[in-house]
Amino acid sequence: MTYRNKQEQTKPEVTYQTLSDFLQNTPPNKLGHILDLAVPKNAGPYPSVEKRINTPELRLHCPHELCKGVRFFRCVDLLVDKKSLDQGTLNYLYVRYQCSNCKKTVKVYSLAAQIDTILGPRGTCYKLGEDPPYGPPVSPGLIRLIQPDSDMFMQGRKCENQGFGIGAFTYYRRVVENQKNRILEKIVKV
C-alpha cells in the first residue's frame, strides 16, 4: 500500500447537511458541513455562487398563543461582519428569523461561516449560539408535575441540549429522588 493510499484511507469522511437541518437540529458550539451555505448564482456548465449566506425557510416550534406548534419561520434580518462569504476566512453573522404565522416570535442565530470554494455553495458553519435557547419545548404539564424542582429540571434540560448527558443525568436524578413519592402517587391515580 502506498503512503498516499494510506492517507486517503485514514481521512475522516465529511458528512454534509442542509443549512436548514443544521440551524434547526444542531445545538450551539458545534461545527457543521453545509451543502447549501451560499446562494447559487447560475446553473449550467459553469456554476458559481453569490458570496452571501443562504437563508432557507425553517420549521420551528412557535410558543405564541396564536400558534402553539411547528410553524414556518423566515429570515427578516441579516447582520454580517463582512459583506461577502470569502473562501478561507470566517464571516461572523447574526441571522434573525420570524414566525410567518403570528409575526411575533423571533429566533436569532449567531454563526461563523466560510465557503469551501467560490465554485459551489458548500461550506462550513459554526453555531455560536441562539436565542431563545436550543431544544424542543418542555410540556407545561411536565413543569406542573415537578413544580418545586422545575428550575433544577431546566438546568438538566440545558445540559442535555448542549450534549452534556452526564451533567443532565445528575440534575434529573436529583429531581426524581426529591419527587419520587409525588410522581408515584400521580401514576397510581392514573
Q: Which triple of cell numbers denotes residue 20?
A: 436548514
Among 30, 64, 96, 122, indicate the residue that binds Zn ion (CB under 5 A): 64
CB of residue 71 vs Zn ion: minimum separation in angstroms? 5
Strand pairing of 58-62 and 69-80?
A: antiparallel
Sheet containing strand 106-115, strands side by side: 16-17, 30-34, 123-131, 106-115, 91-99, 69-80, 58-62
Q: How many residues sit close enough to Zn ion to count as binding (CB under 5 A)?
A: 8
Site for Zn ion in 79-108 (CB under 5 A): 99, 101-102, 105
CB of residue 104 vs Zn ion: minimum separation in angstroms? 6
Examine residue 113 and tell whether it contacts Zn ion (CB under 5 A).
no
CB of residue 135 vs Zn ion: minimum separation in angstroms? 17
Site string for Zn ion, 148-167 (x = CB under 5 A): --------------------
CB of residue 175 vs Zn ion: minimum separation in angstroms? 30
Contact residues toward Zn ion (CB under 5 A) are 62, 64, 67, 71, 99, 101-102, 105
